[in-house]
């Protein structure tokens, strides 16, 4: 009875280990693909119009700064509306993407 239970636990451990390795590989592949897409977007936009690319990067930076300011300032009464809600959502999405790339794209061999 003890050997059967031990074999079952070893099997579960192996399945869990292989599953984690596969999930890690998939997440690393997704991070490399996302990084490649961001680099392609930057390259294509720069080749189209460097001035427009810099203007768009400045506007994006301002909107992300506004979203960060809205998140980290003292809360006010009522809900965020309109542009403030949009910039907070944009900042949150950008921060989550940055953390995802920080954790999973560092092992990307394409760098």
Q: What is the pLDDT of residue 1?
A: 58
Q: What is the pLDDT of residue 12?
A: 85
Within a domain: residue 35?
yes
Within a domain: residue 109?
no
d(CA 84, CA 63): 9
Q: What is the pLDDT of residue 110?
A: 58
Q: What is the pLDDT of residue 41?
A: 92
Domain hosting residue 84, numbered range: 2-104
Within a domain: residue 111?
no
DSSP string, 81-104: -THHHHHHHHHHHHHHHHHHHHHH
Within a domain: residue 76?
yes
3-state secondary structure of 77: coil
Q: What is the pLDDT of residue 71?
A: 87
Per-residue pLDDT for the chain (111 aa), expressed as one digit of tens each?
Answer: 578 888 888 888 888 899 898 988 888 888 888 888 888 999 999 999 999 999 999 999 999 999 999 888 866 776 667 888 899 899 999 999 999 888 887 776 655
C-alpha distances in Å from residue 36, one per residue of 1, 81, 87: 53, 34, 25
Within a domain: residue 110?
no
Into how many domains does the chain fold?
1
Within a domain: residue 50?
yes
The conformation of residue 3, written as its DSSP 8-state character, comes to H
* pTM score above 0.85: no
Within a domain: residue 66?
yes
Within a domain: residue 15?
yes
d(CA 111, CA 58): 25
Q: What is the pLDDT of residue 44?
A: 94
């Amino acid at each position: 009875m003890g050997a059967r239970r031990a074999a079952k636990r070893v099997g579960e451990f192996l399945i869990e280990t292989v599953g984690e390795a596969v999930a890690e590989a998939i997440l690393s592949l997704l991070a490399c693909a996302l990084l490649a897409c961001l680099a392609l977007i930057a390259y294509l936009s720069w080749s189209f119009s460097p001035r427009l690319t810099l203007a768009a990067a400045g506007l994006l930076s301002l909107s992300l700064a506004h979203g960060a300011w809205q998140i980290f300032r003292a809360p006010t009464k009522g809900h965020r509306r309109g542009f403030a809600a949009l910039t907070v959502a944009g900042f949150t999405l950008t921060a989550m993407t940055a953390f995802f790339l920080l954790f999973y794209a560092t092992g990307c061999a394409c760098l």
